[in-house]
Structure 1
Amino acid sequence: MNYLIILLFSIFSCNTEVPTQFSTEALNDTFITLNGENITFKEILETHKGKTIVIDIWASWCKDCIKGMPKVKTLQSEYKDVVYMFLSLDKSQEAWKKGIEKYNVDGTHYFMQSGWKGAFGKFVNLDWIPRYMVINKAGNIELFKAIKADDIKLIQAIKK
């Protein structure tokens, strides 16, 4: 009987360890800037070195993403010294740029050309958008996953 309990526990327990660093593959994944230039995720992070970064993975076609934008704007007004980085999963660069304008999305913007199944998407285990992450001033992943911009864990991670 004890063996059965141990076996069931080992089958149904999941690894709750979340990464604090991006994988080499995720860092080398290529994004597109608003100017149409290719840039690696590593280069994007280096641009904001020493700052807290809130990453918002979104798309202009995503109803939950758009519904969450007012909450993001509230964060931006309350935590002004934070970098707000928007990584788009739009179907085209044109749709992405129109979405930024239409919804008045303020922050730094990159197009995820590798999409959901690219190296970055796989690393963050992308299964839903919007998806929020927080990178601390030391460059470590402070918060790996939140799906609401008013999640208390997201706010706590920003404050650290």
Structure 2
Amino acid sequence: MHTRAFRDKRGRGLRGPLLPEGVPRRRTRAQAFDRAVLEAYAPIYHMFPEQLAALDIAVDTVPRMRLRADMTVLPDEIFADGPVPLGRIIPAGIDRHNRPTRARLVVFRMPVEERAANSAQRAELLHVVMTSLVATHLNLDPRDIDPDFQW
């Protein structure tokens, strides 16, 4: 017996995936965001390769920080749009198993995505977030990294 793969009762609609696996256009939104983060970070890394060699880059979906509601000024290691963190520097330290950890730059995907209407705005916002966080990590002014920096 032959089975037909129909989407609706009239036999119309997609009968399989629109794009095959492995095609660049088939990236998920999270994968596309990860790629955009790396593209925003690459020019900054090439300016300071020795200083940033020990810095890890990470993407988290949402901020997982305990911030008090009465906080009007956030610490320097947190880059935020008002009360909403967009990125954070986690300094090097010791984990719970007494192993050393590397410093980590974390970008929060959902807050950044909510503030960008398209990929060009997302790239611009990621550039601002990365520039600010790397400047904080290196103890520089953001205009030392990008002379046109404005926030």
TM-score range, shorter chain: under 0.3
Q: What is the TM-score of this pair, normalised by structure 1? A: 0.24
Q: What is the TM-score of this pair, normalised by structure 2? A: 0.24
Question: Which structure would you say has the larger RCO, counting Cα contacts within 8 Å and 6 or more residues apart?
Answer: 1
